[in-house]
Structure 1
């Protein structure tokens, strides 16, 4: 199986452009069902996008990885029935309510286990595999060795993030924004009125942590962007089933160009690992030139302990 390149788009036009740039699949959805999406997609938009994508031999996945309170559970069945009718290619979930609903309505859409920080070992991945999941999207706090060990022992497909922001914190409440704004603490919320540009600024380290609040609570992201374009060889050699470029908080053109570069890297490796090794530093430099000055690149936790 060829490794799949998944990207998170901001809107339908952006999704189609990402397909042209080399994305094999896009992940979309609505915030009331999915966490930390790059854009909001209605059911009608998902239906149209899926039809167009399938004509291009591309895939559309839908995020349903929120944690649901009782008052939201009843909305799962009609939403999943619609996704089944549209023949979307996969549903990401973290709450067992999605699996229970999946069984009750006879849904045929593949399920992908996605619980963020808790997807850290192959036993748990296989546990959810036995209950209906066909893929596990692994935690971003894992090292390269841990990721490869999970792939070697997992009975399900394995997906890994390779580029973009990572979530450092989530609260079910709109907690931090209120606390720092009204208590006058060291960290302040900048751009409070503009959700897209809201950041927590740490003056001591000169770090800016993107933050937003929605129906799922408060989300705080890393001050750096992960970039693994020059370190893909081990992941591709290990047969990782899917890699993801995260587009949240990024400009459309940035995500498009990054997608093109990652697809180029993957095709280079597939045709000649030696040529990839020769060109990988140039690919990294190309992304470095696109990178906003206040968002340095790093390799996440692939080569370091999971501490911030």
Structure 2
């Protein structure tokens, strides 16, 4: 069982490693999307060094859909990541994968194309192109994920905690909105609201990569971890893009404790679910997204 956690800084990275994370997920502009904090190459090198000193690993996000200018910049970036000893890059753009292959670097890649990763056959195609594994779409059900993993030797990474991105645009939508309305953009977290649901809050933020809109709730599969292990899904990602600082570290530590309980045969799903609920911010309800639905109800 592997725990993967996003990291927003060197300080948080060290705390996450101490909390039980096996692999850190980091990255920077203009190649990595939806990161809790973009890191410079120097910061990425520092995180990799600290992780390796602890016998842990680092995956660097290169999951953007890349335009000509980004592709032109990519070889130097990938070369530096290889020089730093990055353990893998998460990448989904076929042009970026071709660039990586042409460079012939000792830099494995995990196939990460967001909503496109929906079948074992698609993953198998990219495994034949050199992928060491794949990140499953968040819109799949556990039944579908179990069936996928049974067909594959490579690990299928599943998000077990954190928000789901439901819209990504390369355009500065917030900037355009406030420019058009002549209003001053507030210096705080912004939300969209469903006019039919006064309690809904869809976090929206803009950065150098564009505009990102997230789900109203955070995914949590802490109660289903035992079932996932029984079906071969043992690569778990925790995403802290909307949850910063020590609270996210404590949640990662709880998932590590759940993992150790499973290994010891002492896992009580309800207990861990209740403890996670106490750590969760009040304005972000927990849910299981599509995971517990029947595939027929989703398609």
TM-score normalised to structure 1 length: 0.90
Q: Which residue of the partner structure matches residue 121 of structure 2?
A: 123
Separation in structure 1 between the aligned mates of residue 165 and residue 179 of structure 2, nearest angstrom: 21
Task: State the partner residue of 1:280.
Answer: 269
Match runs of 1:207-246 below 5 Å: 207-246=200-239
SS at structure 2 position matched to 1:167 = strand
Counterparts of 2:158 and 2:181, CA distance in 1: 38
Return the alpha-carbon distance in structure 1 between the equivalents of residues 55 and 251 of structure 2.
21
Counterparts of residues 110-259 of structure 1 (less than 5 Å): 110-175=108-173, 178-179=176-177, 182=180, 192-194=185-187, 197-202=189-194, 204-205=196-197, 206-259=199-252
Does the CA contact (< 8 Å) of 1:129 and 1:155 recur in 2? no
How much has 1:29 moved relative to structure 2? Answer: 0.5
In 2, Cα distance between equivalents of 1:142 and 1:176: 30
Q: Which residue of 2 aligns with 1:67?
A: 65
Name stretches of at least 5 consecutive residues in structure 2 with no aligned partner.
none
Moved over 4 A (4+): 179-184
In the alignment, the residues of structure 1 paired with residue 173 and residue 37 of structure 2 have an alpha-carbon distance, to the nearest angstrom, of: 23
C-alpha displacement at 1:179, in angstroms?
4.8
User: Matches of 2:276 and 2:246 in 1, distance apart?
Assistant: 12
Q: Is the 8 Å Cα contact of residues 174 and 206 (structure 2) preserved in structure 1?
A: no
Q: Please list the CA deviations of residues 257-296 of structure 1 after superposition, one character each: whole Å capped at 9, or x if unmatched.
A: 1111100111110111xx20xx321211111112222211
The alpha carbon displacement at 1:16 in A equals 0.5
Q: Which consecutive unaligned segments of at least 5 residues does structure 1 have?
A: none
- The 1-side partners of 2:52 and 2:255 are apart by 22
Name the residue aligned to 2:282: 293
Structure 2 length-normalised TM: 0.93
SS in 1 for 2:32: coil
Within the alignment, does 1:77 sit opposite 2:68 as a pair? no
